[in-house]
Amino acid sequence: MKKHSLHPSLIFFFLATLLPLILTVHSQPSSLPSDDSDFIRTSCNTTLYPNLCFSSLSNFSSSVHNDPALLARAAISVTLSNALELGSYLSNVTALLESQEENEPHPTAAAVFHDCFENIKDAVDEMRGSMKQMRDLVSTGSLESFRFQMSNVQTWLSAALTDEETCTDGFKDVHDEPRKDEVCARVDDVKKLTSNALALVNRCVDKAIH
């Protein structure tokens, strides 16, 4: 099997090039005024994981101003941040496994971890595209233009979700690897955040159309 190698500066690539693109909606400690709290709670009730949605976005209450688009952008920001942390973790684990399996004839675990890392890297790129599109939304444009821009966001987030699912699917044939459960749990957390972000984007579109 062909060995995979990771560029030693890959983590720095993640942090240096992607973090500056994270949304400038600031998370601030808040006492959650009832109207802001109700807006976030009501919005999160449209997602598959409402409790996670609310807990991950409640600190943005003073910044989203009851605006579905700002809330969706905040959700993508949170998801991207978590995906970056996951990518860094996978990079470290993969490098460690590759060094341990250097002389093994079938380095299955390392290859699967590497493939998972590549999937998460693709997901990060797609979230990055979603973030840029949300930041570039032209609120004064036509409804048709708005729907086109939001369809790009929906497509990228759906693709990110698929990449995350592909990552965990690869671990089905991995046995006796102590990090497997932790990796799958971490990826599952990001999948839930991605799902919630997509649901809030869909809600934003519905609100604008109706």
- Best CA proximity match to 94, nearest among 72, 110, 79: 110
Q: 89 burial class (0-12, 13-18, 19+ CB within 10 angstroms)?
A: middle
For 190, other C-beta atoms within 10 Å of its C-beta total: 25
Query: What does the pLDDT read at residue 188?
Result: 97
What band does 210 get if pLDDT is binned at 50, 70 and 90?
A: low
Query: What does the pLDDT read at residue 20?
Result: 44
The pLDDT tens digits for 150-195 are: 999 999 999 999 999 999 999 988 888 888 999 999 999 999 999 9
pTM equals 0.82
The pLDDT tens digits for 13-47 are: 444 444 444 444 544 444 445 567 889 999 999 99
Query: What does the pLDDT read at residue 207?
Result: 82
The pLDDT tens digits for 62-120 are: 889 889 999 999 999 999 999 999 999 999 999 988 888 666 655 578 889 999 999 99
Residue 199 in contact with residue 137, Cβ under 8 Å?
Answer: no
Sign of CA dihedral 154, 155, 157, 161: positive
Q: 101 burial class (0-12, 13-18, 19+ CB within 10 angstroms)?
A: middle
Query: What does the pLDDT read at residue 21?
Result: 46
